[in-house]
Amino acid sequence: MLYDTFIGPFVEFEFMRRALVGAFALALGAGPVGVFLMLRRMSLVGDAMAHAILPGAAIGFLLHGLDLIAMTAGGLVAGFVVAFAAGLVARVTELKEDASLATFYLVSLALGVMIVSVRGTNLDLLHVLFGTVLALDDPTLLLIAAIASVTLVVLALIYRPLVLECVDPGFLRSVSGAGAPAHLAFLGLVVLNLVGGFHALGTLLAVGIMMLPAATGRFWARDITTMIFIAVVAGAISGYAGLLFSFHMSVPSGPAIILVAGVLYAFSVLFGRVGGLVRQVFPQRHLEA
């Protein structure tokens, strides 16, 4: 009974195993990136970038159909162009980074909608928006795993400047010139993970597996390392539980995964050890225990 509910589906069906591996790889890469986005108060940047990627993926799709390489390349190019152009405008002009990013992603989104309308294949393009975690083939899985690996390695390399920029960007600027390159590399990772995520979850839900586990981690830990660990675990649990819900309750898998992540987040807001609502209301009792 327990076996049938929790393990059986993955033993019996290869597509479930693939989906699970994909979800784990996504959680591994997107979780840490999400934590840094959150700590740098850039949580909504992920959302903006996801919209910016859409037209690139759409162009790739319209030129080559549901082709992994074309859609990935298109998404990456669009994401990088928007990220770097926005960063450049923010650094050399008066405009702040959020406003600059907003302008670029809106233009990018409008372009995407126009491309889609001109070609008139809205139905097919819905797949780009929604993704299919249930249909991950070998190349897609390899891509997602590679993105997770690259993310972890690059994060290890730029960890110090990145953490310092979260805490005290002014200090970092005074002692080192590593801030700007680290920032750019980090934005690159955001784009990479969103592109990896949209193959499995679609452009819009890819942000969910990035931000929700990160926000969950914030309620359980004070130091960044533990926070990242919890974010990855929360992401992996969301993937596993979401797939099980999709299997047993017959609900679409992508939204199910993100909704489980949302439930974990809501639980953390209430009962989290660090700043959770219940802890705030009854602080002494917990200290005594």
Partner 1 sequence: MIFRRTVLMTAALVAALLAADNASAQEKLKVIASFSILGDLVKNVGGDRVEITTLVGPNGDAHVYAPTPADTKRLSDAGVVFVNGFGFEGWITRLVKASGTKAPVVVATKGVKPRRMEKGEEHDHGGTDPHAWQSVANARIYVANIRDALVKADPTGQAAYEANATAYLGKLDALEQEVKDIIAKIPADRRRIITTHDAFGYFKDAYGLDFIAPQGVSTESEASAKDVAKIITQIRRQKIPAVFVENVTDPRLVKRIAEETGAKIGGTLYSDALTGPGGDAPTYIDMMRHNIRALGAALTS
Residues of this chain that interact with partner 1 (CB under 8 A) are 9, 12-16, 19, 66, 123-124, 126-127, 130, 132, 134-137, 243, 246-256
Report the C-alpha dihedral over residues 225, 97, 210, 66, rounded to 10 degrees: -140
Residue whose tokens read 């994909």? 22
Minimal distance, residue 174 CB to partner 1, in Å: 50
Instruction: Output phi, psi for 164, to 5 deg.
Output: -60, -40
**Between 58 and 221, CB nearer to partner 1:** 58
- Closest approach of Cβ 222 to partner 1, in Å? 37
Give the CA radius of gyration of the chain: 20
* 89/134 with CB nearer partner 1: 134
Q: Which is nearer to partner 1, 134 or 210 (CB)?
A: 134
Identity of the residue, 35 or 244, whose beta carbon is nearer to partner 1 in the bound complex: 244
Residue 232 in contact with residue 182, Cβ under 8 Å? no
Report, in Å, the least distance between residue 152 CB and partner 1.
Answer: 27
Q: Using CA atoms, how far apart are residues 84 and 258, in angstroms rounded to an integer?
A: 28
Nearer to partner 1, 186 or 247 (CB): 247
The amino acid sitting at 93 is T
How many Å apart are CA 83 and CA 188, to the nearest integer?
8
* Closest distance to partner 1 from the beta carbon of 249 (Å): 7
With CA atoms as reference, report the closest residue to 187 among 67, 5, 40.
40
CB 242 within 8 A of CB 209: no
Amino acid identity for residue 278 in this structure: V
Q: How far is the CB of 119 from partner 1 (least distance, A)?
A: 17
Among residues 11 and 277, whose Cβ is nearest to partner 1? 11
Q: How far is the CB of 77 from partner 1 (least distance, A)?
A: 22
Nearest C-alpha neighbor of 209 from the set 60, 22, 41, 13: 22
